[in-house]
Structure 1
Amino acid sequence: MQFRVLVGDITKWPADAIVNSASSSLLGLSGAVDRAVHKAGGISLTAACRSLKGCRTGDAKITFGYKLPAKYVIHAVGPIWVGGKRGEEEELLSCYRKSLSLAEDKGVRYLAFTSVSTEDKRYPRQRAAAAVVPLLMEEGGKMERIDLVCADAEMQAVYTRAAVLFWLRHLNDAHKDELADMIEEAMISLVMLQVETDKPDPIAFAEQVRAMKRVLRPFLDMSQPRGIVDIEKAADTVMQSYQEQPEIKSSSGLESLLQSYY
């Protein structure tokens, strides 16, 4: 599964299905993105949502996308943040799992999420990313691609770092017999995190994979187990590399390489 974290407008995303952060009424009242999804989908989308008669927190329901580019819209009802002691994380993860399940039932291969609950229900971005990214990476394997579509660069950095930490922890915990294959998969995934084009230029892409290995070589050369401080420092280095790496242009020659890992 290819996982990307990109900045953009979810109402224009060419995925098979998009996941909207909805209110329990499902009537486009949760926040700016929810309103935009209903506006772009048209009155038929709102009418379809009204017929569903609401949705409880921690759950999700699905409609067609109508005027949206996506065939389906999954309306995920995340929790309102009230300090983290009322089961908010469990409810957040529950609506993401339900969204994945609904997408799988419809045969969706390319799914795009908004950041559920963070912009409309005060859920802290870093806490949401730390919980949600591992879930998507571990349980979204039936998808060919999952995009996390962010409202701004700050949100993109938060979710990107969560994905970087996911891979660093897996590398840290890997058995030595699994490490070589996992390193290759991790480098490709880390490079692809912020690549916007669907078909990157293979030469530029291969060079960035090699560059990512160089960035992480000090971390990979450490004896195991590495400490939390080591993982955090390696994550800082990877995040800095995203600021320095050149943009990967589009090409059509990379599909077979990516398919061998996703």
Structure 2
Amino acid sequence: MQFRVLLGDITTWHADGIVNSASSSLLGLSGGTDNAIHRAGGISLTSACRALKGCHTGDAKVTFGYKLPAKYVIHAVGPIWVGGKRGEEEELVSCYRKSLLLAEEKKIGYLAFTSISTEDKRYPRQRAAAAVIPVILSEGAYFTRIDMVCTDEAMQDIYTRAAVLFWLRRLNDGHCDGQSSLVDEAMIALVMLRVSADKPDPIALAERVRQMRRVLRPFLDMSQPRSILDMEQAADQVMASYRTLDELQADSNLGDTVPPYYQA
């Protein structure tokens, strides 16, 4: 499964399905992205949502996308943030899990998420990313591709860093017998996080994987177990490397072609 964290407008995303951060009424009342999805989907989308008669927090329901490029819209109702002591994290994780299950039931191969609850319900971005990125990466194996579509660079950096830390923890916890294949998988995953092109050049991909391996060589050479500080410092190095990689991306043709072990 490819996982990417990209900037863009979810209403124009050519995925099989998109996940909307919806209000409990499902009528486009959360503002921002929720309202934009309803406007772009047209009156048929809103009518289909009205027929669903609402949705509980932590749950999700699905409709067709109608005028949207995506065939399906999954309407996930995330929690309103009230300090983190009323089960908000459990409800947030629940609606991501429900969205993945609904997408799998509809045989959606390529799924794109908005950042649920962070823009419309005050959920802190960093806490949201730390809670849900492991869920997507651990439980999204069915999908060919999952994108997190971000509205600004700050959001993109937060979700990217959460994914980087996920892979660094995997490397830290990996068993020695499978370490070589795990490192290869992690290097490709880290490179693909910020690749927006749909048709990658395999040579460009291989070169960027080699660059990522050089960035993480000090971390990889450390004896295990590495400390939390070691992982945070390695994550800083990876995030810094993306600035250089992003500059090169416009001149490359990096996208879908990845080695077999990274396919869904």
Q: In which range does the TM-score fall when normalised by the shorter chain?
A: over 0.9
Tell me the distance in 2 between the aligned counterparts of 1:251 and 1:191.
Answer: 10
Gaps of 5+ in 1: none
Match of 1:121, SS? coil
| Residue of structure 2 in register with 1:40 after alignment | 40
Write out aligned runs for 1:126-205 (5 A).
126-205=126-205
Deviation at 1:251, TM superposition (A): 6.4
Does the 8 A contact of 2:2 with 2:145 survive in 1? yes
Q: Deviations over 1:62-90 (max 9, x none)?
A: 00000000000000000000000000000
Which letter does structure 2 place at the counterpart of 1:221? Answer: D
Q: Deviations over 1:41-70 (max 9, x none)?
A: 000000000000000000000000000000
Which letter does structure 1 place at the counterpart of 2:240? Answer: Q
| Residue of structure 2 in register with 1:250 after alignment | 253
Does the 8 A contact of 2:204 with 2:253 survive in 1? no
| Residue of structure 1 in register with 2:219 after alignment | 219
Deviation at 1:237, TM superposition (A): 0.2
Tell me the distance in 2 between the aligned counterparts of 1:259 and 1:102.
Answer: 26
**Distance change in 2, residues 1:100/1:225 (3 Å):** same
Gaps of 5+ in 2: none
Which letter does structure 2 place at the counterpart of 1:261? Answer: Y
Match of 2:179, SS? helix
Deviation at 1:31, TM superposition (A): 1.9
Query: In the comparison of the two structures, how many residue pairs are matched?
Result: 260
Q: Deviations over 1:195-231 (max 9, x none)?
A: 0012212211111100000000000000001000000
Tell me the distance in 2 between the aligned counterparts of 1:84 and 1:143.
Answer: 30
Deviation at 1:250, TM superposition (A): 2.5
* TM-score normalized by the length of structure 2: 0.96
| Residue of structure 2 in register with 1:113 after alignment | 113
Match of 1:66, SS? coil
| Residue of structure 1 in register with 2:96 after alignment | 96
Write out aligned runs for 1:66-77 (5 A).
66-77=66-77
Which letter does structure 2 place at the counterpart of 1:260? Answer: Y
Deviation at 1:261, TM superposition (A): 1.5
The question of 1:260 aligning with 2:258 is answered no
